[in-house]
């Protein structure tokens, strides 16, 4: 995701032409993405009320291909794959929300303080971020998840550790930019407390790139978390987590439908957040709007 | 430029120390027991056996002691012995590194070629359906979970249609070539084993396509952006004005210049490719570092986990250094700026 | 022993693995298959923890060690009779503590040096002193005296009628002591820290068996080569490759494509998907089983797990249904913790299901409306059984007597620690034998002080489990002559059934799957798959 982040704010990035088809072409993916995400959130919240089957209990005969009774078939334990896939939205969205909320909070705080105060504190904190960023994320996450033991909570902790430095760097760069602006100088002259200056006058101006990155990163968090579950370091059976379900599909290989539902789900959700992120960037980033 | 390089190099020992420290601290919290992979589960009930195994593997010492011993060994280039394979971690890694490198390099070629092609198409046909299609295709690669795509690919191309072989690097019954470089493509050729070479190529196709597609999007974006930059510049307009064919303008003038910034992105793709190789190696039973890392993590083989992470960090560092050097080499401004 | 971690979640990797020979198409196996004198490929999820006989302890280790290291004695194909291997004859003293062995003077190691009494003594003492996983086999060893180069006398601390069975265990393989010592091995008291031969054994073998180690690459393949100078009946195939193949699906595909000749870990489900005239499926009863178990002293149970409560739960389990559910009917009921076919199991009563009686017992115990209890288990596949699936079956069964199970799947590593500390009130476990003999079961599952399950169940503190009766019966069995053993172990078996601590649920059949041109396949209680007997036509 680090490369992704760099790209997302890179100056070379150009978007669609602001001329032809601007509304229709540019908006279609954003709208589609937003609709899918909204749908996923609604499903995640409401599924226990209307699900025809329990995601963990037997729902029918084992290893049945898709049919009217089971649209996505049943798995090796006779559970309904569609129901499990829909339940999976809860785990994936929760973990993405948790990781990004914590990663962004920690990262932003560290970045803001480092950028604002500067000096030794700045270099210490940023070297810490550099160190974390110098390892391939999955290896770092695996080392952490393996040490803590498998489980969704531990996966989340591992991913937070992987993600915070990205936001620390981003926030620091923003703070450094904004620090020199006139209204900040004015606040300093007026004798405002440093903490007030930072949180009232600087930070509010720094949010938009963070928000765009967060949106783009949701897909990455979901992919990495499900990847960890797939290799057995994340969610454990019988949790209907997508990566874990694909692993189960792999062991009943001829029953291709078992992995189909969760595979498509990961793909759709991650694509939707990418679309949405693109849209948000257009909205927030004056450069990307002006550059074409 | 030189300063950036130096800074990275100076940071490296701290990086490694950091990861060693982190794994040691984290190991304190684990619920699992690494002894299981050393002596087997049932022997855990026998205090004599447990004590002997702890002494043999240094697990009887306090954490700080173990930490100091490890760091001391590390300073001498010794990564310890794997609990699981019982071999020096360094040797395990050396055995498996070529497999991973071969896969990652092939995937990088796939990603670069498809990315450049799609990037050029999208820039040339900006805002047309061809542009949207190319960009969507590139984006799909980074949104489809690789471990699922790998399964599908195996199911379709190997199980159903028998077009390509399944997992592994070579057919099991064929004798592997003598290990010279560890790269199957090279070793089979050195051994004059043409059939073996073809077999190795066929085994590489699916995993490198799956892995390569995941970075197509990154490369395509970069190429598209810099192509758009270049296409708007004077010398391109000049070339067009002079009546050069569009193909010639595109490839001779524009692409050559647009590739310079795009080249540097290859370093960034390394992070993606390593992540991907862990998953893809698992799916394709590829005997590389990635699958080694997975096995190590599952059996709480701390020396191996730490070793893999350190080597991964080093690989990352080298990739970044190469990127910096490449950038400096192609961009005179960078050189003078430093 | 319990399968080690590698088998967990057969799945994954696999799918992976589809070794499939798609390759088939092109270069498949050209030129490698000269009948009668060719290599055979065994597709297997290897759980090797070492290739050193004194340190190894796993299912695949049994296959490897039996092929490469001959033992003093071995188990005949009837899986009951102890027959000569390196020892041509032996005498046992009437008090069952002194064993005299006469070695075959023709026996040689693969490098040509003769097998002597010194090697035997060295190997057994090293097994004991290295304190590896199988060291417990030598627990009763007191002394070994060498009478002459081909005669030795072994004395045990206490009567041990099972010692001959133990000596047939593959872990007691006899090592070429001179060769091994030259590479860092020793049999000293402190061998557990001073012996450094572990790594050497990964690339060399030092046995007198029908095969020698050609090469081993972890996570890839184990290659064996026929021992051309073998002193006994030479192996029928020129070599064996055991190819790491993580899961059943891949193993099946390798068989179908011809990439593998033999697979032993194909579950009945997968076997059903294969209709191939070139593949033979042979189903044999195994000595492996999966059981449910109680730790009445463990914290976390909402109600005391008294005998009535345990018996009620035992009666509520639908054993036959569980066999259908987990292995498609390809399994057997098992009365006690001693597997079917082992000494003492001939006439034991099979477990029964009686929901009405279970409810009555529960009411008598004071819980007519049932209760809620956790079931922690290792979420993995063993012997073709998905334990998560079995746990869900138990959940359904116990719901009938209003006992509501909360499933707590854990990874193997975590579960194995949890059952000892802090202890798990209700769990599912699994077990496979190390050699042919019932004492290992009494020692692991018996309600005796100091034994693993005796400790977990709280012998001495839990009402009704004083540990006395089984200890008496066990000592009697150990001192018994061959004819009296059956009755002695039966007494232990009956006591275990009455204790209601270990509830064996299913003993799954083993599916031996192999190509049609393979012969000589059999499953051995000591050695798993005797490779030396395999033929390729």
pLDDT tens digits, chain C, 537 residues: what are they?
Answer: 444 333 333 333 333 333 333 333 333 333 333 444 588 999 998 888 889 999 998 889 999 999 999 999 999 999 889 999 999 999 999 999 999 999 999 999 999 999 999 999 999 999 999 888 888 899 899 999 999 999 999 999 999 989 999 999 999 999 999 999 999 999 999 888 889 898 899 999 999 999 999 999 888 889 999 999 999 999 999 999 999 887 787 788 788 878 899 998 888 777 877 788 889 999 889 999 999 999 999 988 899 999 999 999 999 999 999 998 888 888 999 999 999 999 999 889 999 999 999 999 999 999 999 999 999 998 888 888 889 889 988 998 999 999 999 888 887 877 888 888 789 999 999 998 888 999 999 989 999 988 889 999 999 888 888 888 888 889 989 888 777 888 889 999 999 999 999 999 999 998 899 999 999 999 998 889 999 999 998
Taking each helix axis from N to C end, the angle separating A81-117 and A242-251, rounded to the nearest 10 degrees, works out to 130
Note whether A231 contacts C247, CB cutoff 8 Å: no
pLDDT grade for A19, boundaries at 50, 70 and 90: very low
Question: At CB < 8 Å, which residues of chain C contact A?
Answer: 8-16, 18, 247-249, 269, 273, 379, 381, 386, 388-389, 392, 396, 407, 409-411, 413-414
C74 and C167 within one domain = yes
C4 and C119 within one domain = no
Q: Does B317 reach chain A within 8 Å, measured CB to CB?
A: yes
What Rg do the C-alpha atoms of chain B give, in angstroms? 24
Kindly state whether residue C477 falls inside one of the protein's structural domains. yes
**Which residue, among C354, C432, C435, has the nearest Cα to C397 in the 3D structure?**
C354
CATH of the domain at C318: 3.10.105.10
C345 and C401 within one domain = yes
Q: Which residues of C are less than 8 Å from A248 in CB distance?
A: 11
Instruction: Give the residue from chain C lying closest to B207, CA to CA.
Output: C16
Beta strands across the sheet bearing C98-103: C87-92, C98-103, C151-156, C141-148
What does the pLDDT read at residue C396? 85
Q: Span A169-184, mean pLDDT?
A: 85
C449 and C318 within one domain = yes
What tokens were used for C60? 């695949």
B253: left (phi over 0), alpha (psi -120 to 50) or beta: alpha
C325 and C188 within one domain = no
- The CA–CA distances, whole Å, from C467 to C10, C216, C448, C449 equal 38, 46, 5, 6
Query: DSSP characters for C445-459?
Result: HSS-TTSHHHHHHTT
Which CATH code for domain B92-336? 1.10.3720.10
Range list of β-strands (E), C149-278: 151-156, 211-217, 221-226, 239-244, 262-263
Q: Which residues contact C367 (CB under 8 A, 6 or more apart)?
A: C303, C309
Note whether A139 contacts B29, CB cutoff 8 Å: no
C-alpha C401: how far from chain center: 34
Is residue A172 classed as helix, strand or coil in its secondary structure?
Answer: helix
Domain limits for position C11: 1-37
The C-alpha atoms of residue B57 and residue B80 are separated, in whole angstroms, by 10
Phi, psi (degrees; rounded to nearest 5) at C29:
-120, 30
What tokens were used for C48? 């090797």
Q: Which residues of B are less than 8 Å from A232 in CB distance?
A: 294, 298
What does the pLDDT read at residue C484? 83
C450 and C375 within one domain = yes
CB atoms within 10 A of CB B9: 11
What does the pLDDT read at residue B30? 64
What tokens were used for B83? 């609990």
The C-alpha atoms of residue C513 and residue C496 are separated, in whole angstroms, by 35
CATH superfamily of A25-290: MetI-like (1.10.3720.10)
Query: Tokens 């799916």 belong to which residue?
Result: B283
Q: Does B190 reach chain A within 8 Å, measured CB to CB?
A: no
Cross-strand pairs, C375: C407
| Across A186-195, B47-56, B178-187, B327-336, least confident range | B327-336
The β-bridge relationship of strands C502-515 and C82-84 is unpaired
What does the pLDDT read at residue C31? 37
The C-alpha atoms of residue B236 and residue C428 are separated, in whole angstroms, by 73
Instruction: Give the residue from chain C lying closest to B30, CA to CA.
Output: C414
Sign of torsion, CA B161 B163 B167 B173? positive
Query: DSSP characters for B191-251?
Result: TT-HHHHHHHHHHHHHHHHHHHHHHHHHHHHHHHHHHHHHHTSHHHHHHHHTT--HHHIII
What tokens were used for C279? 């593949």
Kindly state whether residue C489 falls inside one of the protein's structural domains. yes
- For chain B, the domains span 2-75, 92-336
What does the pLDDT read at residue C141? 94
The C-alpha atoms of residue C398 and residue C376 are separated, in whole angstroms, by 15
Question: What is the reported pTM?
Answer: 0.82
C428 and C351 within one domain = yes
Please state the domain count of chain C.
3
The C-alpha atoms of residue C353 and residue B204 are separated, in whole angstroms, by 55
Kindly state whether residue C219 falls inside one of the protein's structural domains. no
- The CA–CA distances, whole Å, from B78 to B20, B91, B306, C342, C400 equal 13, 10, 12, 49, 59
Which residues numbered 237-296 in B keep a CB inside 8 Å of some CB on A?
A: 261, 265, 268-272, 274-275, 278-279, 282-283, 293-294, 296
Last residue of a domain, one of C201, C228, C259: C201
What tokens were used for A258? 């078992």
Which residues numbered 195-234 in A keep a CB inside 8 Å of some CB on C?
A: 230-232
The C-alpha atoms of residue B72 and residue B74 are separated, in whole angstroms, by 5
User: Vertex C500, ends C349 and C405: CA angle to 5°?
Assistant: 115
The C-alpha atoms of residue C324 and residue C341 are separated, in whole angstroms, by 22
Do A222 and A228 touch, CB atoms closer than 8 A?
Answer: no
- Which of A149, A236, A253 is facing C379, going by the closest CB pair? A236
**End-to-end CA separation in angstroms for chain B:** 5
Q: Which residues of C are less than 8 Å from B81 in CB distance?
A: 199
Kindly state whether residue C236 falls inside one of the protein's structural domains. no
- Subunits touching A (CB < 8 Å, at least 3 pairs)? B, C
Mutation target vs C (from B86, B170, B201, B291; most C CBs, 10 A cutoff): B86
Note whether C18 contacts A253, CB cutoff 8 Å: yes
Instruction: Kindly state the greatest CA–CA separation across chain B.
Output: 87
Q: Span B55-61, mean pLDDT?
A: 81
The ipTM estimated for the assembled molecules is: 0.87
The C-alpha atoms of residue C302 and residue C281 are separated, in whole angstroms, by 46
Is residue C412 classed as helix, strand or coil in its secondary structure?
Answer: helix
Of the CA atoms within 13 Å of residue B212, those in its CB half-sphere come to: 20
The C-alpha atoms of residue A27 and residue A25 are separated, in whole angstroms, by 6
- For chain A, the domains span 25-290
Mutation target vs A (from C251, C388, C398; most A CBs, 10 A cutoff): C388
The C-alpha atoms of residue C287 and residue C510 are separated, in whole angstroms, by 9
Sign of torsion, CA C514 C516 C518 C522? positive
Q: Does B91 reach chain C within 8 Å, measured CB to CB?
A: no
Mutation target vs C (from A74, A238, A248, A251; most C CBs, 10 A cutoff): A251
The C-alpha atoms of residue C233 and residue A135 are separated, in whole angstroms, by 56
**End-to-end CA separation in angstroms for chain A:** 26
What tokens were used for B272? 């993606």
- The CA–CA distances, whole Å, from C533 to A35, C86, C339 equal 65, 17, 25
The C-alpha atoms of residue B230 and residue C46 are separated, in whole angstroms, by 56
The β-bridge relationship of strands C39-44 and C239-244 is parallel
CB atoms within 10 A of CB C217: 17
Q: Which residues contact B283 (CB under 8 A, 6 or more apart)?
A: A250, B146, B147, B150, B151, B154, B167, B207, B210, C13, C15, C16
- Which of A57, A238, A247 is facing C11, going by the closest CB pair? A247
CATH of the domain at C114: 3.90.76.10
């Amino acid at each position: 995701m680090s490369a992704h982040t760099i790209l997302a704010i890179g100056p070379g990035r150009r978007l669609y032409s602001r001329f032809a088809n601007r509304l229709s072409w540019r908006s279609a993916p954003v709208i589609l993405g937003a609709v899918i995400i909204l749908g996923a959130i609604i499903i995640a919240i409401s599924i226990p009320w209307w699900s025809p089957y329990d995601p963990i209990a037997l729902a029918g005969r084992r290893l049945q291909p898709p049919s009217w009774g089971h649209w996505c078939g049943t798995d090796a334990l006779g559970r309904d794959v569609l129901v499990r896939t829909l339940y999976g939205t809860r785990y994936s969205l929760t973990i993405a929300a948790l990781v990004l909320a914590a990663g962004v909070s920690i990262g932003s705080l560290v970045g803001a303080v480092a950028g604002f105060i500067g000096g030794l504190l700045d270099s210490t904190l940023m070297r810490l971020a550099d160190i974390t960023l110098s390892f391939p994320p999955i290896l770092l996450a695996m080392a952490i998840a393996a040490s803590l033991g498998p489980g969704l909570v531990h996966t989340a902790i591992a991913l937070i550790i992987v993600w915070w430095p990205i936001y620390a760097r981003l926030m620091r760069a923003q703070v450094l930019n904004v620090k020199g602006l006139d209204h900040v100088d004015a606040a300093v002259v007026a004798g405002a407390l440093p903490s007030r200056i930072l949180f009232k006058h600087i930070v509010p101006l720094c949010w938009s790139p963070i928000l765009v990155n967060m949106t783009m990163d949701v897909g990455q968090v979901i992919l990495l978390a499900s990847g960890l579950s797939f290799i057995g370091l994340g969610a454990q059976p019988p949790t209907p987590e997508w990566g874990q379900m694909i692993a189960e599909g792999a062991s009943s290989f001829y029953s291709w439908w078992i992995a189909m539902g969760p595979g498509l789900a990961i793909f759709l959700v991650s694509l939707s957040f990418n679309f949405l992120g693109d849209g948000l960037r257009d909205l927030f980033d004056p450069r990307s709007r002006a550059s074409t | 430029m030189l300063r950036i390089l130096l800074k990275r190099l100076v940071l490296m020992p701290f990086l490694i120390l950091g990861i060693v420290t982190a794994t040691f601290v984290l190991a304190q919290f684990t619920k699992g027991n690494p002894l299981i992979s050393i002596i087997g589960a049932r022997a855990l009930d026998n205090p004599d056996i447990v004590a002997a195994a702890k002494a043999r593997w240094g697990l009887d010492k306090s954490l700080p002691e173990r930490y100091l011993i490890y760091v001391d060994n590390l300073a001498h280039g010794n990564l310890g012995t794997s609990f699981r394979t019982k071999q020096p971690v360094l040797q395990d890694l050396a055995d498996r590194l070529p497999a991973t490198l071969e896969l990652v390099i092939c995937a990088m070629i796939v990603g670069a070629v498809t990315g450049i092609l799609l990037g050029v198409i999208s820039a040339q046909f900006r805002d047309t359906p061809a542009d949207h299609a190319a960009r969507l295709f590139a984006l799909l690669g980074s949104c489809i979970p690789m471990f699922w795509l790998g399964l599908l690919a195996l199911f379709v191309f190997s199980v159903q249609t028998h077009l390509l072989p399944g997992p592994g690097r070579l057919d099991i019954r064929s004798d592997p070539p003598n290990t010279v470089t560890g790269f199957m493509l090279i070793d089979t050729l050195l051994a004059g084993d043409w059939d073996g070479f073809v077999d190795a190529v066929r085994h590489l196709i699916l995993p490198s396509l799956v892995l390569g597609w995941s970075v197509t999007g990154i490369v395509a974006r970069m190429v598209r952006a810099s192509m758009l930059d270049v296409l708007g510049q004077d010398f391109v307009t000049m070339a067009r004005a002079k009546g050069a064919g569009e193909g010639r303008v595109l490839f001779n003038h524009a692409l050559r210049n647009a590739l310079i910034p795009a080249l540097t992105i290859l370093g960034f793709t390394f992070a993606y490719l390593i992540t991907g190789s862990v998953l893809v190696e698992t799916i394709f039973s590829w005997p590389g570092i990635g699958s080694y890392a997975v096995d190590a993590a599952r059996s709480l083989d701390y020396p191996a986990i730490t070793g893999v992470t350190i080597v991964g960090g080093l690989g990352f560092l080298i990739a970044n250094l190469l990127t910096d050097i490449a950038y400096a080499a192609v961009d005179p401004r960078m050189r003078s700026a430093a | 022993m319990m399968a080690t971690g590698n088998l967990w979640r057969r799945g994954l990797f696999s799918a992976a693995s589809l070794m499939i020979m798609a390759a088939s198409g092109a270069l498949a196996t050209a030129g490698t298959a000269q009948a009668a004198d060719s290599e055979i490929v065994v597709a297997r999820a290897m759980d090797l923890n070492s290739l050193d006989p004194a340190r190894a302890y796993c299912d695949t280790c049994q296959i490897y060690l039996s092929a490469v290291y001959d033992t003093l004695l071995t188990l005949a194909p009837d899986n009951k009779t102890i027959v000569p291997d390196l020892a041509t004859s032996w005498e046992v003293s009437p008090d069952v503590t002194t064993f005299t062995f006469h070695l075959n003077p023709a026996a040689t190691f693969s490098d040509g040096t003769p097998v002597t009494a010194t090697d035997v003594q060295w190997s057994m003492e090293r097994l004991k002193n290295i304190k590896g996983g199988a060291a417990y086999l030598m627990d009763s060893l007191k002394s070994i005296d060498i009478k002459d180069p081909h005669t030795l006398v072994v004395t045990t601390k206490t009567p041990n009628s099972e010692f001959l069975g133990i000596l047939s265990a593959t872990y007691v393989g006899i090592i070429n002591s001179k060769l091994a010592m030259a590479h860092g091995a020793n049999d000293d008291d402190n061998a557990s820290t001073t012996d450094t031969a572990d790594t050497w054994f990964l690339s060399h073998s030092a046995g007198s068996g029908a095969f020698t180690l050609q090469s081993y690459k972890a996570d890839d393949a184990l290659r064996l080569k026929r021992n051309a100078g073998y002193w006994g009946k030479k192996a029928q195939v020129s070599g064996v490759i055991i190819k790491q193949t993580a899961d059943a699906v891949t193993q099946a595909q390798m068989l179908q494509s011809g990439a593998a000749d033999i697979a032993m870990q194909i579950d009945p489900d997968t076997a059903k998907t294969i209709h191939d005239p070139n593949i033979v499926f042979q189903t044999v009863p195994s000595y492996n089983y999966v059981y449910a178990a109680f730790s009445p002293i463990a914290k976390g149970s909402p109600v005391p797990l008294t005998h009535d409560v345990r018996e009620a739960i035992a009666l509520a389990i639908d054993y036959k249904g569980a066999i259908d559910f987990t292995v498609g009917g390809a399994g057997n009921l098992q009365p006690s913790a001693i597997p079917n076919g082992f000494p003492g199991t001939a006439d034991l009563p099979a477990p029964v299901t009686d929901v009405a009686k279970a409810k009555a017992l529960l009411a008598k115990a004071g819980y007519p409306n049932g209760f809620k209890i956790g079931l922690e288990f290792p979420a993995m596949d063993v012997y073709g059984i998905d334990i998560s699936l079995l746990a869900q079956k138990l959940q359904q069964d116990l719901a009938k007597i209003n006992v509501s199970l909360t499933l707590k799947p854990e990874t193997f590593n975590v579960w194995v620690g949890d059952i000892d500390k802090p202890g798990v009130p209700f769990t599912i476990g699994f077990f496979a034998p190390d050699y042919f003999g019932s004492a290992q079961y009494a020692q692991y599952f018996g309600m005796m002080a100091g034994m693993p399950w005796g400790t977990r169940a709280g012998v001495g503190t839990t009402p009704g489990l004083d540990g006395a009766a089984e200890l008496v019966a066990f000592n009697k069995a150990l001192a018994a002559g061959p004819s009296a053993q059956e009755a002695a172990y039966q007494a232990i078996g009956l006591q275990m059934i009455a204790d209601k601590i270990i509830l064996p649920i299913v003993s799954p059949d083993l599916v031996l799957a192999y190509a049609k041109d393979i012969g000589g396949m059999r499953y051995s209680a000591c050695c798993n798959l005797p490779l030396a007997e395999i033929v390729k036509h």
